[in-house]
C-alpha cells in the first residue's frame, strides 16, 4: 500500500462491515444518506479520489468517462454486472475495472426459486387475499396453481448463478435443460441436458429462468417470437437483467394465456418497474433484491475491497474485467 492512504469514494451506503473495513484502510468519502448521483456529479467526484467503489446505479457512459479526471485509477464495482460501465471507454482511459463474481450466486438463486414458486403457486394473489381480508371461502377449485415437482426447467446462462439455480431445481425433482455460450464439463452439468441454441431449449421449458448478462447479443432475447416457442402455460422467471425481456411482448403473452405466470426481480426501467405489470395478479414481482442478504452484501463489499487492495499493492486484481 502507498505510504499515504488512497482516497476512496463509496458511492452508496454499503454494509456496516464493508464500510468499517474501507475506513480502516482508506481515506473514505461515504454516502450515509444513500443518495444517487448524476453523471456531472460523478465527474466532479473523480477529481477528488483515487478509487471508486460504485454500484449499478452509477452510470459510467462514454461521455462521463471522457470527462473524468485521470486521478481515478480503479473502479471496483459492487456488482457482477457491468452493463452500467462503458468498458471500452474505461479501458482506453486506463482505468482498471473489476466486479464481484462468485459471492452472490446462492442469494440470487434463492430469489429465482422464490419467484419460480411464487409465480407457479399464485403467491402474490394469495397474499393479497389474506392481507386484505378478502379470503372468505374455499373449494377444490380455489387458488389452483401449477405444480413444480417433476416439471422441466430451462436455464439460459449456465454461469455461477445458473448452476446454483439448476441445483435448486433438481432439489424439487425438476429435469434441467440449459443453453450456454459453451457446454459445461460433465462434472458441472450434473445430468443437465445441453442445447446448442435457445430455439431448441424453449419448447421443452415449462419453466424458463434467465441468468445471462445483458449484452448487445442478449438484449431483447425474450421477444414475441421466442416467447411463442415456450410451451402453452409456461412460466418465465428473470433475476438477471430487465433488458433481456421485451416487456410488451411478455404482457401480450400473459394476456393471451400462453404464459401462465411470470416471476420478475428486474425490469427495463429501474427503480420503479413497469406499472402495466401491476394489473396482472399472475406476475409475481420483487424490487431487484436478488443479492440482498446480509451475508452477501458483506461478501460483495469485501470482494470489491479485495480488488482495490490488490491494485494499490501493485498486483493484478483478481476480478478485473477491463
Catalytic residue of the set 19, 270, 280, 320: 270
Query: Does the annotation mark 241 as catalytic?
Result: yes
CA distances in angstroms from 48 to 32, 44, 71, 305, listed in the order given: 18, 8, 8, 19
Rg of the Cα atoms in the chain: 21
Extract the C-alpha cell encoding 210: 434467465
* Residues present in the chain in total: 322
Query: Does the annotation mark 232 as catalytic?
Result: no
Residue listed under C-alpha cell 434441467:
176
Residue listed under C-alpha cell 397474499:
127
Query: Does the annotation mark 270 as catalytic?
Result: yes
Q: Helices marked H in the chain — which ranges?
A: 16-25, 39-46, 62-67, 87-93, 105-120, 123-131, 160-171, 186-189, 198-201, 224-229, 247-256, 294-312
CA distance 260 to 235: 6
Summary count for the chain: helices (H), strands (E):
12, 12
Catalytic residue of the set 168, 288, 297, 303: 288
Catalytic residue of the set 56, 177, 241, 297: 241
Residues 322/91, Cβ–Cβ less than 8 Å: yes
Number of neighbours of residue 44 by Cβ within 10 angstroms: 14
Q: What backbone phi and psi angles, to 5 degrees, belong to 240? A: -95, -85
Supply the residues annotated as catalytic.
241, 270, 288
Amino acid at each position: 500500500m502507498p505510504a499515504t492512504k488512497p482516497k476512496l469514494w463509496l458511492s452508496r451506503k454499503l454494509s456496516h462491515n464493508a464500510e468499517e473495513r474501507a475506513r480502516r484502510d482508506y481515506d473514505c468519502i461515504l454516502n450515509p444518506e444513500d443518495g444517487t448521483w448524476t453523471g456531472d456529479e460523478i465527474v466532479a467526484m473523480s477529481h477528488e479520489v483515487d478509487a471508486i467503489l460504485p454500484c449499478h446505479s452509477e452510470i459510467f457512459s462514454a461521455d462521463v468517462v471522457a470527462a473524468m479526471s485521470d486521478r481515478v485509477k480503479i473502479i471496483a464495482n459492487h456488482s457482477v454486472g457491468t452493463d452500467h460501465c462503458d468498458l471500452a471507454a474505461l479501458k482506453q482511459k486506463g482505468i482498471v475495472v473489476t466486479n464481484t463474481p462468485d459471492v452472490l450466486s446462492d442469494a440470487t438463486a434463492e430469489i429465482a426459486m422464490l419467484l419460480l414458486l411464487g409465480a407457479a403457486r399464485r403467491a402474490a394473489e394469495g397474499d393479497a387475499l389474506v392481507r386484505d381480508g378478502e379470503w372468505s371461502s374455499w373449494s377444490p377449485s380455489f387458488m389452483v396453481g401449477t405444480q413444480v415437482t417433476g416439471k422441466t426447467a430451462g436455464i439460459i446462462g449456465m454461469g455461477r448463478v445458473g448452476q446454483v439455480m439448476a441445483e435448486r431445481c433438481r432439489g424439487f425433482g425438476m429435469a434441467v435443460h440449459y443453453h450456454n455460450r459453451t457446454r459445461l464439463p460433465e462434472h458441472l452439468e450434473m445430468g443437465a441436458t445441453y442445447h446448442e441454441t435457445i430455439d431448441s431449449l424453449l419448447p421443452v421449458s415449462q419453466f424458463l429462468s434467465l441468468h445471462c448478462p445483458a449484452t448487445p447479443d442478449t438484449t431483447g432475447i425474450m421477444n414475441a417470437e421466442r416467447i411463442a416457442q415456450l410451451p402453452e402455460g409456461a412460466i418465465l422467471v428473470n433475476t438477471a437483467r430487465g433488458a433481456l425481456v421485451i416487456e410488451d411482448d411478455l404482457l401480450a403473452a400473459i394476456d393471451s394465456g400462453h404464459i401462465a405466470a411470470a416471476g420478475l426481480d428486474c425490469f427495463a426501467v429501474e427503480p420503479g418497474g413497469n406499472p402495466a405489470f401491476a394489473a396482472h395478479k399472475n406476475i409475481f414481482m420483487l424490487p431487484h433484491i436478488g443479492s440482498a442478504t446480509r451475508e452477501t452484501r458483506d461478501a460483495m463489499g469485501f470482494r470489491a475491497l479485495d480488488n482495490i487492495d490488490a491494485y494499490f499493492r501493485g498486483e493484478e486484481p483478481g476480478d478485473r474485467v477491463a
